[in-house]
Chain A
Amino acid sequence: MEKFYLAATSNTPEVDFDFPARRLLLKGESYPESAAAFYGDILNKTSAFLDEMTGETLHISVQLNYFNSSSTKMLFSLFDRLNLAAEEGNTIVLDWHHDIDDETILEFGLELAEDFPAIEFHAHAIES
């Protein structure tokens, strides 16, 4: 499967899903007018990719400093799918970046870690 790339806008994150390299990146802010429309394609492509993946390692790096509640739901769907891939024998590594003072983003990451235990979760506090 090919790389999937979307440049960041003021209300959508940079999406750099390098499927061949097994590296996915979300970076920026997420509050599109329609989260379902923005994330629909991302979810479908990721799901199709994961269908083909067995016994491999995938890294996903999340560097978001804001996402609204509709995006939150979409992120849960994404991690739900990744968790499934992990349960099926793949190694999914989530690198969750947050500013050292940003407890809001950290808390959300910890919720994800709790809900999706098959994903290997690493929180990275960024000093700035």
Chain B
Amino acid sequence: MLKEIRFAGDLLIEARAITPEFKNEDVLALFAQKSSLKNLPVLHDDGRPLGLINRNMFHSNMTKPYYPELYSQKSCIAFMDKSPLIVEARLEIEQLTALAVEAGDKVFTDGFIIVSNGKYLGIGQVLDLMHAMTELQARQHRQLIESIQYASVIQQSILAPSRIALNTYFPDTHWLIWEPRDVVGGDMFHFIPTRHEGQDDGFLAVLFDCTGHGVPGAFMTLIAESALAQAIATHGDRDPAALLAAINQYIKHTLNQHDHAIGSRENSDDGLDGMIVRFDKNQQHLIFASARNPLFIMGLNADEAIEVLAGDRKGVGYASTPMDATWYNHIVPITEAKRIFLITDGVIDQVGGTKKIAFGKRRLGQTLIEGRIATASDQKTAFQAAFRSYQGQEKRRDDVTLLALDLIPKSS
């Protein structure tokens, strides 16, 4: 493997240098001897660089009328660049690049002089510097990606118990898409089956879209996950609105967004949008509390339209949300089989189509209805195809999560 290039000295090319005692006719001879010689450094007697003679510049001067006659016997400093880029060998290549760009064109043709404690060592070429910078950036990018990929392992481990619980509770009657835009992301889901007197009586399902995506989004999901665990420990698993209120307080405290003295814009104004859904199959109803997220409900048997239920407009945890904020428990009777869809705004807002506009709730509803009679896994496949085709060549704008759950009430 090639040596890692980090400093200007790593780019060193040993090159012959001359002193001001050399005359222009000597320079002419040196250039004539060696056609590959592009430039000649000129040094003081003590080894400090004085300037750099560029071959082309030198020749263009010496071919002017009468110049050979006038200058052949003069010192070689006549056509020398008196301010070449001179850098210490220990200078880091990032800084060297900045200096080279600042110095402009001539560095690209002449290169730069490398010194150690001011004394000449040799020269460096910009092409080598560019190779080194490309390699450095590739290495830094690789490290960043590896780091994020490992963070993804952690994020997926946290979601794993809910995935397992979903697969156990709904072997064939749910589907889930969890696609962070940047390997890790700000969307998270949580699922726990609930029991009453030892019998299955429904479940609690949670979908959160934390501010941001990528690494900051993923940080937020960890806070949200702890907030949720603590809220459930305190308030149980039957009251979605109480859980959102508790999570709001937890996030505000954790990020110091409750205290204006500490919590300023420089700190943080983060939180989450999302939804908590409690299905009680004995009571034959669904209770949901939502922060800015719509809930889609579709009848599985009848040919009815898909319903879109809006959530409350307050986000959870943000600096602008009061500490004592409350959310509303919406109760929806479920007397026959339904399929509900919990979604994050990454689905609705994705830009695409011929007009480059948002996917939108209407199109989402239409896509879901078209898959009404399909099995859960077929509907998932059909949705993914429709969504991908809509997105087309457009970039993914946000994390995308969609959780579909079939609700089968206990027959009364």
Interface of A with B (CB < 8 Å)?
10, 29, 31, 33, 36, 40, 65-66, 68-70, 73, 99, 101-105, 111, 128
Query: Is B398 a contact partner of A68 (Cβ separation < 8 A)?
Result: yes
Query: Is A69 a contact partner of B357 (Cβ separation < 8 A)?
Result: no
A103 to B213, CA, bound (A): 24
Which single residue of chain B is at the shortest CB-CB distance from A10? B395
Known contacts A31-B397, A36-B269, A40-B265; A69 and B211 CB within 8 A of each other: yes
Query: Is B209 a contact partner of A69 (Cβ separation < 8 A)?
Result: yes
Taking CB atoms, residues of chain B closer than 8 Å to A105 are 357-358
Is B360 interfacial (CB 8 A cutoff)?
yes
Taking CB atoms, residues of chain A closer than 8 Å to B395 are 10
Query: Is A73 a contact partner of B269 (Cβ separation < 8 A)?
Result: yes
A107 to B356, CA, bound (A): 17
Is B318 interfacial (CB 8 A cutoff)?
yes
Query: Is B265 a contact partner of A101 (Cβ separation < 8 A)?
Result: no
Taking CB atoms, residues of chain B closer than 8 Å to A31 are 397-398
29 contacts between A and B (CB under 8 A): A31-B397, A36-B265, A36-B269, A40-B265, A65-B351, A65-B356, A65-B357, A66-B351, A66-B358, A68-B213, A68-B398, A69-B209, A69-B273, A70-B212, A73-B269, A73-B318, A73-B320, A99-B355, A101-B357, A102-B357, A102-B358, A102-B360, A104-B348, A104-B349, A104-B357, A104-B358, A104-B361, A105-B357, A105-B358
Is B235 interfacial (CB 8 A cutoff)?
no
How many of B's residues come within 8 Å of A, CB to CB? Answer: 26
Query: Is A128 a contact partner of B355 (Cβ separation < 8 A)?
Result: yes
Shortest beta-carbon distance from A64 to chain B in Å: 11
Known contacts A31-B397, A103-B360, A103-B361; A66 and B349 CB within 8 A of each other: yes
Is B406 interfacial (CB 8 A cutoff)?
no
8 Å CB contacts to A: which residues of B232-282?
265, 269, 273
Taking CB atoms, residues of chain B closer than 8 Å to A103 are 360-362
Shortest beta-carbon distance from A60 to chain B in Å: 21
Taking CB atoms, residues of chain B closer than 8 Å to A29 are 351, 397
User: Across chains A and B, which 10 residue pairs bring their CB atoms closest together, nearest first?
Assistant: A104-B358, A102-B357, A99-B357, A104-B360, A66-B351, A103-B360, A99-B355, A128-B355, A70-B211, A102-B358
Known contacts A73-B318, A111-B313; A101 and B211 CB within 8 A of each other: no
Shortest beta-carbon distance from B297 to chain A in Å: 19
A103 to B345, CA, bound (A): 14
Which single residue of chain B is at the shortest CB-CB distance from A105? B358
Interface of A is mostly: mixed
Query: Is A66 a contact partner of B265 (Cβ separation < 8 A)?
Result: no
Shortest beta-carbon distance from B236 to chain A in Å: 29
Taking CB atoms, residues of chain A closer than 8 Å to B273 are 69
Which single residue of chain B is at the shortest CB-CB distance from A103? B360
Which single residue of chain B is at the shortest CB-CB distance from A43? B265
A104 to B351, CA, bound (A): 11
Contact of B345 among A65, A69, A102 (CB under 8 A): A69
A10 to B351, CA, bound (A): 13
A73 to B269, CA, bound (A): 10
Q: Which of B214, B345, B349 has the most CB of A within 10 A?
A: B349
Contact of B355 among A69, A101, A104, A111 (CB under 8 A): A101
Taking CB atoms, residues of chain B closer than 8 Å to A99 are 355, 357
Shortest beta-carbon distance from B318 to chain A in Å: 7
Taking CB atoms, residues of chain B closer than 8 Å to A66 are 349, 351, 358, 397
Which single residue of chain B is at the shortest CB-CB distance from A36? B265
Shortest beta-carbon distance from A35 to chain B in Å: 9
A36 to B257, CA, bound (A): 15
Taking CB atoms, residues of chain B closer than 8 Å to A69 are 209, 211, 273, 345
A73 to B362, CA, bound (A): 24
A110 to B69, CA, bound (A): 83
8 Å CB contacts to A: which residues of B301-338?
313, 315, 318, 320
Taking CB atoms, residues of chain A closer than 8 Å to B212 are 70
A104 to B355, CA, bound (A): 14
Shortest beta-carbon distance from A73 to chain B in Å: 7
Shortest beta-carbon distance from A62 to chain B in Å: 15
A100 to B176, CA, bound (A): 31
A65 to B351, CA, bound (A): 8
Shortest beta-carbon distance from A117 to chain B in Å: 15
8 Å CB contacts to A: which residues of B344-388?
345, 348-349, 351, 355-358, 360-362
- Kindly list 19 other residue pairs between chains A and B, CB separation below 8 angstroms, not including A31-B398, A36-B265: A65-B356, A66-B351, A66-B358, A66-B397, A68-B213, A68-B349, A68-B398, A69-B209, A69-B273, A73-B269, A73-B318, A73-B320, A102-B357, A103-B360, A103-B362, A104-B349, A104-B358, A104-B360, A104-B361
